[in-house]
């Protein structure tokens, strides 16, 4: 499995779990996401974007990182362009850091939806800010490595059919959940966490307590 770490411009707290998720991965930074590189102790192999969010200090600090510049008027965000390049370079697993927070709710929502679409294409995808982590929920059985007491929610992007949750304070058994329902908000892990989905599109968002196993 070829893992690529994508650095986006949202919030990032470097926790032991974030360090473990990003260890050994090839790194591509999208515009101001380059600012996370120093805290992670990593050097990206490529820095992409229109660079409207990068400063003179960023350019000076990372002057040796190869850059690929795109026009400001384009059909994709800098983050999606970075992901496209990672896939073209052979990525089968994506760790997308800086995917939450900041002042662009539109970008944050895009990252959640994009993670689900990429997972449907067969990629393993994790979104993280350190404080929060997002993992797609695909039709079939899904297992997650969160410690006892971890707070999590499942966000449905469609109606969800045949949804089951085990290893949680509030288990479910093959339910139908309408799009926009708050039923699966604020649950807690009580054992090995498993989610089975019959049909639909969803994302699990957790506040991890532990390093990745």
**What is the DSSP code string of 160-187?**
EEEEEEEEESS-EEEEEE-TT--TTSSE
**Who's near 147: CB < 8 A, 6+ residues apart?**
189, 208, 209, 210
Q: In Å, how far from its chain's centre is CA 83?
A: 11
- Mind listing the domains of the chain with CATH numbers? 3-131 (3.40.50.10240), 137-207 (2.60.120.320)
Angle 92-54-24 from CA coordinates, rounded to 5°:
30
Q: pLDDT, tens digit, for every residue of 185-198?
A: 999 999 999 999 99
Largest CA distance in the chain: 55
pTM (predicted TM-score): 0.91
**What is the DSSP code string of 82-93?**
HHHHHHHTT-SE
What is the gyration radius of the CA atoms in the chain, in angstroms? 17
Q: pLDDT, tens digit, for every residue of 97-133?
A: 998 877 778 878 888 999 999 999 999 999 999 999 9
């Amino acid at each position: 499995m070829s893992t690529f770490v994508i650095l986006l411009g949202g919030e990032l707290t470097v926790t032991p779990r974030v360090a473990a998720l990003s260890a050994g991965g090839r790194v591509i930074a999208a515009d101001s996401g380059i600012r996370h590189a120093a805290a992670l102790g990593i050097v990206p192999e490529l820095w992409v974007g229109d660079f409207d969010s990068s400063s003179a200090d960023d350019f000076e600090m990372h002057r040796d990182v190869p850059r690929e510049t795109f026009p400001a008027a384009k059909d994709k965000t800098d983050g999606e362009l970075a992901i496209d390049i990672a896939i073209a370079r052979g990525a089968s697993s994506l760790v997308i850091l800086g995917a939450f927070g900041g002042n662009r709710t539109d970008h944050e929502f895009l990252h959640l939806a994009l993670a689900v679409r990429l997972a449907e294409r067969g990629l393993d995808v994790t979104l993280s800010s350190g404080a929060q982590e997002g993992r797609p929920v695909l039709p079939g059985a899904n297992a997650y490595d969160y410690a006892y007491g971890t707070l999590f929610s499942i966000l449905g992007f469609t109606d969800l059919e045949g949804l089951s949750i085990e290893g949680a304070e509030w288990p479910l058994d093959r339910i139908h959940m309408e799009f926009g329902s708050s039923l699966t908000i604020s649950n807690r892990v009580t054992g090995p966490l498993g989610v089975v989905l019959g049909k639909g599109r969803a994302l699990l968002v957790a506040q991890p307590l532990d390093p990745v196993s």
